[in-house]
Amino acid sequence: MRVGFIGLGSQGGPMARRIVEGGYPTTLWARRPASVEPFADTAATVAASPTELGAASDLVCLCVVGDQDVMEVATGDNGVLAGLKSGGVIAVHSTVHPDTCRELADRARSHGVAVIDAPVSGGGPAAAEGHLLVMVGGDPNVVEQVRPVFATYADPIVHLGDLGSGQVTKLLNNLLFTANLATAKTTLALGEALGVAPENLAEVITRGSANSYALGSITRFGGSLDMLKQVAAGLLHKDVSLIADIADKAGVSPGAVLDAADAALGLMDNPR
């Protein structure tokens, strides 16, 4: 299978390298030439446009930032769909609104191209080690077709259902993580006010039943949200807003988890 990859950032770059090292003929494209420079020592080729990349690929993986980026590189002028042949597949690794994936699928259908959503979790280090978590939504036959490529950088690969279900799952994961940031941070603050040092309280909780990945993240940064605010507040704001909108349109009340997530966004000075 020939693979095209667009979105060579801190997470996408290691994913693309694992695909190349897995022996798959790989074509790359990036807006900035600097993004493809690290692949000069590999067998990957560089396309002049997304269309050229699509023409050279059977599977195109998109790991760009947002909804607009996904649609632009896939359907815009010189987009992937202009080059990808019938029978091709687009995998959306970006975390976006599930409706974006469905809209892309509707437009791809007339080209004979399938779309699956496959958001990821774990970051660049997990991808480099081949242990990225991939949450997939879409046609089971298509998922099985591309699974060997995903397996170069991911374990586990979880198929969750129809197109869009991977995105909903990723957004729910990020919603709960954001909520846990608020409960963890305010618990540490409450403990300090009651005379228990935050670092000591964190040591106990991380070994007990109330432990969470969010608490560990806060602890690694000295008990402060300042670093997380710099690197993650914007993305968490986007994801919480997306899942809140999905729930609202579905007529579903998210309950306490959204209240806690909103509290966390407030603590990071990035309210929804």
Kindly state whether residues 97 and 173 are assigned to the same domain.
no
Kindly state whether residues 155 and 184 are assigned to the same domain.
no
Question: Last residue of a domain, which of 139, 162, 185?
Answer: 162
Kindly state whether residues 128 and 7 are assigned to the same domain.
yes
pTM of whole model > 0.85? yes
Mean pLDDT of the chain: 97
Which three-class secondary structure string do you get for the chain? Answer: CCEEEECCCCCHHHHHHHHHHCCCCEEEECCCHHHHHHHCCCCCEECCCHHHHHHCCCEEEECCCCHHHHHHHHHCCCCHHHCCCCCCEEEECCCCCHHHHHHHHHHHHCCCCEEEECCEECHHHHHHHCCEEEEEECCHHHHHHHHHHHCCCEEEEEEEECCCHHHHHHHHHHHHHHHHHHHHHHHHHHHHHCCCCHHHHHHHHCCCCCCCHHHHHHHHCCCCCHHHHHHHHHHHHHHHHHHHHHHHHCCCCCCHHHHHHHHHHHHCCCCC
Q: What does the pLDDT look like over 189-238, one tens digit per residue? A: 999 999 999 999 999 999 999 999 999 999 999 999 999 999 999 999 99
Kindly state whether residues 131 and 38 are assigned to the same domain.
yes
Question: Last residue of a domain, which of 100, 132, 162?
Answer: 162
Kindly state whether residues 141 and 214 are assigned to the same domain.
no
Kindly state whether residues 16 and 148 are assigned to the same domain.
yes
Q: Domain range for residue 95?
A: 3-162
The total domain count for the chain is 2
Kindly state whether residues 150 and 204 are assigned to the same domain.
no
Q: What does the pLDDT look like over 2-45, one tens digit per residue? A: 999 999 999 999 999 999 999 999 999 999 999 999 999 999 99
Kindly state whether residues 172 and 158 are assigned to the same domain.
no
Kindly state whether residues 71 and 131 are assigned to the same domain.
yes
Question: Last residue of a domain, which of 142, 162, 182?
Answer: 162
